[in-house]
Amino acid sequence: MASRSGELFTTGHDGSIFAYEGRLDADTFDRLLTWASKIGASDVTLQSNEPVWAEIGGDWMRVTARRVSHPEVEGVVRGIYGENGPAELLSGNDIDPSHEVKTPYSHWRLRYRVNITAGRIPGAVGFQLTIRTMPSQPPEIVKLGIEPDIIANLRPELGLNLVTGPTGSGKSTLLASIIRYLCEREDACEKVLEYSKPIEYVYDGLTFPNSFVFQSEIGTHLRPRQEDDEGSLWEYGVRNSLRRKPGIIVIGECRDRATMAACIDAAQTGHLAMSTAHTVGVPETIRRILRFFEADEQRSVAIDLLEVLNLVVTQRLIDRVGGGKVGVREYILFDSKLKAELIALDPADWPARLRSLLRKRLVTGRSMADAARALRIEGTITANTYEWIAARTAGDSKVVRDAMGVSRLMDLAMREDRAASE
């Protein structure tokens, strides 16, 4: 059974459905989400002219007896986003709001991350809502098994920390847990400003001795006075933060050039900036960041990035022995020694050099393969899971190791043949 804040999900349920009378209006939809949370659903999908689906224990199940009409779905969209929601969708834009439901059985609010997208239905255009349950509070960082090197370097005086990973890797959870950890310290005195779209984790009900957090949804709570494009919204958020004397600036996700530029600008102004990015691997993160920019500006951007970069962490969630998931992390601390080495190279060569340094263990950091190996040794993951991770890091998989072994044997045989002929 799910906990009151939705952190835990069941491995199945009794097959019951959500029963309701009349139309599926906004209030009924909120009751549906509350019911889905109680039976342990992690995701709910609502789409035009289909039953409601819920993912429970990794399986998709129909949880309403009848199909929900398009006008009903359209009404739910208006209830979540506003009257202009359907028009936004029909103009070709998807919508990414958050949604909260006040539960009748406690003072807790259930929180959801929502994506709404238009698409084809027979003879018309329909809408699909993908609703993901979000825990009310981020978990404590000690429960995530974070490496001591990461924890020790989370709070430089200024700089940029990036948490990266693929979809569903828990990067937003990790970043929110970092903020919670930094604010819960007795000796901390932090003013944290977060700019996200949408806001995912909140910090309601947590006690911070001498710190506080304020969260703004870009485009909803904060936007330029003149209508402008998405890029300027993020830049406007950074400019807004600089008028408010923050200690830490959190910027949603680095999904494009404007957001990345905003992160670098925030760090260059003498603050600690934090964000997430949809990349896998520290070297790959550097490559992805530089690709946001035109070729003729990549060198100058690379120097600015290197100046402010402090810590990059990549996380994956992989199967744990006995069930559940465990985080496996690759990370690098960009200390003065590493920065001095990289600045002498062409930025295009940085990813390969970082990968080499990780493999040779010549930086303060850890490769994904080394992290997975440690989990394998302690029995947390299986050998197959380790090989799956290692295969994605050149030089660490069994296939590569075996190939290298064959190559060494061939070299040895050739040297022996030459020695015999001489």
pLDDT digits (tens, 9 = 90+) for 84-120: 999 999 999 999 888 988 876 555 678 898 999 999 9
User: Two tokens at 74?
Assistant: 């359209």
Q: Using CA atoms, how far apart are residues 26 and 118, in angstroms rounded to an integer?
A: 19
pLDDT score, position 197:
82
Q: Using CA atoms, how far apart are residues 210 and 185, in angstroms rounded to an integer?
A: 8
CB 130 within 8 A of CB 114: yes
**Distance separating the N- and C-terminal Cα atoms of the chain:** 76
pLDDT digits (tens, 9 = 90+) for 122-154: 999 999 999 988 777 899 999 999 999 999 999
Which residue type does 255 have?
R
Q: Using CA atoms, how far apart are residues 389 and 151, in angstroms rounded to an integer?
A: 23
pLDDT digits (tens, 9 = 90+) for 163-182: 999 988 889 899 999 999 99
Confidence of residue 231 (pLDDT cuts 50, 70, 90): low
Q: Give the CATH number of domain 141-366; options: 3.90.199.10, 2.30.30.230, 3.90.550.10, 3.40.50.300.
A: 3.40.50.300
Q: Give the CATH number of domain 26-134; options: 3.30.450.90, 3.40.50.1100, 3.30.300.160, 3.20.20.70.
A: 3.30.450.90
pLDDT score, position 37:
86
- Pairing relationship of beta strands 59-62 and 248-253 according to DSSP bridges: unpaired
- Say yes or no to pLDDT of 416 above 60: no
Average pLDDT, the chain: 86
- Pairing relationship of beta strands 325-333 and 309-319 according to DSSP bridges: antiparallel
Q: Where in the chain is the domain with CATH 3.40.50.300?
A: 141-366
- Say yes or no to pLDDT of 417 above 90: no
Confidence of residue 331 (pLDDT cuts 50, 70, 90): very high
Cis previous bond, 209, omega within 30: no
Q: Using CA atoms, how far apart are residues 26 and 79, in angstroms rounded to an integer?
A: 6
Q: Where in the chain is the domain with CATH 3.30.450.90?
A: 26-134
Residue 376's H or E segment, with its range, is: helix 368-377
Q: Using CA atoms, how far apart are residues 391 and 398, in angstroms rounded to an integer?
A: 7
Q: Using CA atoms, how far apart are residues 344 and 303, in angstroms rounded to an integer?
A: 11
Q: Is 150 exposed, middle or buried (0-12, 13-18, 19+ CB in 10 A)?
A: buried
Report percent pLDDT > 90 for the chain.
63
Q: Using CA atoms, how far apart are residues 261 and 332, in angstroms rounded to an integer?
A: 21
Q: Using CA atoms, how far apart are residues 412 and 245, in angstroms rounded to an integer?
A: 65
* pTM across the whole model: 0.77
Tokens 């020790």 correspond to 152
pLDDT digits (tens, 9 = 90+) for 267-324: 998 899 999 999 999 999 999 999 999 999 999 999 999 999 999 999 999 989 988 8
User: Two tokens at 43?
Assistant: 């995701």
User: Two tokens at 106?
Assistant: 């406690």
CB 73 within 8 A of CB 44: no
Residues with Cβ within 8 Å of 40's Cβ and at least 6 positions away in sequence, in order, are 1, 2, 8, 9, 10, 13, 56, 57
